[in-house]
Amino acid sequence: MDMLKRAMESDLYWSFRQSPVAMASAAVALSLILASIFAPLIAPYNPFDPASLNLMNGFSSPMEPNQFTQDVFWFGSDDQGRDVLSTILYGMRISLFVGFAAVLFAMIIGVVLGLISAYVGGRTDAFIMRIADIQLTFPSILVAMLIFGIAKGFTPVHLRDQMAIWVLIVSIGLSDWVQFARVVRGAALVEKKKEYVEAATLVGRGPVAVIFLHILPNVLSPVLVIATISLALAIIAEATLSFLGVGAPPTEPSLGTLIRIGQGFLFSGEWWILFFPSVTLLLLALSVNLLGDWLRDALNPKLDD
Amino acid sequence: MISYIIKRAMQSVVVLLAVGLVAFGMFRFVGDPIDNMLGQERTDADVERLRELLGLNDPFIVQYWDFLTGAIQGDMGVSFRQGRPALDIILERLPATLELATVSAVFAMVMGILLGIYTAINRKGFVTTTILTTSLIGVSLPTFLIGILLIYIFAVELGWLPSFGRGDVVDFGWWTTGLTSWAGIKSLILPAITLGLYQMTLIMRLVRSEMSEILRQDYIRFARARGLTEKTINFRHAVKNTLIPVITVAGLQIGSIIAFSIITETVFQWPGVGLLFIDSVQFVDIPVMASYLMLISVMFVGINFIVDMLYLAIDPRLRDGKEG
The pLDDT score that the predictor gives to residue B146 is: 86
What is the Cα–Cα distance from A232 to A142, expressed in whole angstroms?
Answer: 17
Nearest to A240 among B26, B263, B284 (CB): B263
A149 contacts in chain B (CB < 8 Å): 277, 280-281, 284, 289
A141 with B282: Cβ contact below 8 A: no
Kindly indicate the confidence band of residue A305, based on its pLDDT and cuts at 50, 70 and 90.
very low
The answer, for A87 touching chain B at a CB cutoff of 8 Å, is: no
- pLDDT < 70 regions, chain B: 27-41, 54-57, 60, 168, 173-174, 178, 314-324
Q: Give the tens place of pLDDT for each residue, A194-211.
A: 888 888 888 888 888 888
**Mean pLDDT over residues A267-294, rounded?**
84
| Spatial distance between the Cα atoms of A204 and B208, rounded to a whole number of angstroms | 54
In chain B, residues with a C-beta closer than 8 Å to the C-beta of A266 are: 148, 151-152, 156
Does ipTM come in above 0.90?
no
Residue B320: its pLDDT value, please? Answer: 59
For chain B, the C-alpha Rg in angstroms (whole number) is 24
Give the model confidence (pLDDT) of A106-126 as tens digits.
Answer: 999 999 999 999 888 888 888
pLDDT attached to residue B34: 66
Q: Would you list the DSSP string of chain A?
A: -HHHHHHHHSHHHHHHHH-HHHHHHHHHHHHHHHHHHTHHHH-SS-TT-GGG--GGGTTPPTTSB-TTT--B-TT-B-TT--BHHHHHHHHHHHHHHHHHHHHHHHHHHHHHHHHHHHHH-HHHHHHHHHHHHHHHTS-HHHHHHHHHHHHHHHS-GGGHHHHHHHHHHHHHHHTSHHHHHHHHHHHHHHHHTSHHHHHHHHTT--HHHIIIIIIHHHTHHHHHHHHHHHHHHHHHHHHHHHHHTSSS-TTS--HHHHHHHHHTTTTTT-THHHHHHHHHHHHHHHHHHHHHHHHHHHH------
Each residue's pLDDT tens digit, A140-192: 888 888 888 877 777 777 777 778 888 889 889 988 899 899 989 988 888 88
| Amino acid A63: pLDDT | 66
Mean pLDDT value across residues A22-46:
83
A24 pLDDT above the threshold of 50 = yes
Mean pLDDT of chain A: 82
Which of B284, B304, B307 is the best residue to mutate to test the A interface, defined by the most A CB atoms within 10 Å of its own CB? B284
Nearest to B15 among A134, A157, A274 (CB): A134
Chain A residues inside the 8 Å CB shell of B31: 153-154, 156-157
Q: CB-based contact (8 Å) between A279 and chain B?
A: no
Give the pLDDT score at B128: 84
The whole model's pTM is what? 0.81
Instruction: Tell me how close the Cα of B300 comes to any Cα of chain A, in angstroms.
Output: 7
Look at residue A66 in the predicted model and tell me its pLDDT.
67
Which chain B residues are within 8 Å of A144, Cβ to Cβ? none
pLDDT, position A304: 44
pLDDT digits (tens, 9 = 90+) for A48-102: 776 666 666 666 667 666 666 666 666 777 777 677 788 888 889 889 999 999 9
CB contact under 8 A, B26 and A153: yes
